[in-house]
Structure 1
Amino acid sequence: MGNVAFGAGQIRRRPAVEERLTQPRRLIRQLSDVDSGRLRRLIRSGNLAPCFDAAEDAAGHAEDCPICFYFYPSLNRSKCCGKGICTECFLQLMPSKSSKVVHCPFCKTASYAVEYRGTRTKREKKLDRPEEENVNEAKKKIQSTSQIADELVQP
């Protein structure tokens, strides 16, 4: 019955989430199906990323959502393929009462679900580097191809 040191059997408490970060602010469509109380509990329990303020550039933010292209301190991760998505885009993808199954927007796996792990580790970022390099190379090829096409079209 004394003080117990933090050990493997105990659960770490996540830092408190500000109330404003538990409510979506940028939704494109009105989500009548979303239970705001349940959403607030999922965010506060750490099961869903907070509705962080979106930034248009990477200054001070670690990740960009591949759906809305805004930058955030951290994102939710697809359980199937590990790709990141912000909470507000995830809410947009969630099924309405009329639809049954939502597929992953990245790998098309049925029964799309996400989990929130917090900020990505250096190891996770390092694993994404080769993919980013491939994307950058593809962008350069497209740009050079379009420049060649422009030269051919001009009289």
Structure 2
Amino acid sequence: MGNKLVGRKRQVVEERYTKPQGLYVNTDVDIKKLRKLIVESKLAPCYPGDDESCHELEECPICFLFYPSLNRSRCCMKSICTECFLQMKNPNSARPTQCPFCKTPNYAVEYRGVKTKEEKGMEQVVRYK
């Protein structure tokens, strides 16, 4: 029988969300590489941030804007938008980047899509303890 590649399902992302929305002025970003990471669901799309809170939106703790979905730190699972992550992870530096939340070296994120109801519920439980 044939072998199937099991992996992350590619998401359909509008082209305009595969590049920075201009949250930061100085961005030294490889747009082709960024687009590939977003299309392969390795980074969250670069949605424009919203100033207003909404039940379905998540807040980035760095820029304080709200997004449909965010990346998660691999070390401590804290949320961060793609544009803030790109500012933290300097591609021209030889030094490893520390997590801005827990200071773990070699900061990296993953994209899991929109938070589930269970994840949102757990977050509320932790927040009110």
**TM-score band, normalised by shorter chain:** 0.7 to 0.9
C-alpha contact 1:63 1:73 (8 A) present in aligned 2: yes
2:47 counterpart residue number: 52
Give ranges in structure 2 of 5+ residues lacking alignment. Answer: none
**Aligned residues, how many?**
128
Relative to the length of structure 1, the TM-score reads 0.73
Shift of 1:95: 2.1
Q: Which stretch of the first structure deviates more once superposed, 35-44 or 96-105?
A: 96-105
- Is the counterpart of residue 107 in structure 1 residue 102 in structure 2? yes
1:19 counterpart residue number: 15
Give ranges in structure 1 of 5+ residues lacking alignment. Answer: 2-7, 135-155
Shift of 1:92: 0.6
1:5 counterpart residue number: none
Deviation per CA, 1:50-77, whole angstroms, max 9, x where unpaired? 0012111123642100000000011000
Q: Which residue identity is paired with 1:28?
A: Y
Instruction: Please give the alpha-carbon distance, in whole angstroms, between the structure 2 residues aligned to 1:130 and 1:10.
Output: 34
Instruction: Give aligned-pair identity as a percent.
Output: 50
Q: Which stretch of the first structure deviates more once superposed, 113-122 or 124-133?
A: 124-133
Relative to structure 1, is the Cα distance of residues 73 and 126 closer, same or farther in structure 2, using a 3 angstrom cutoff?
same
C-alpha contact 1:78 1:115 (8 A) present in aligned 2: yes
Instruction: Please give the alpha-carbon distance, in whole angstroms, between the structure 2 residues aligned to 1:101 and 1:9.
Output: 32
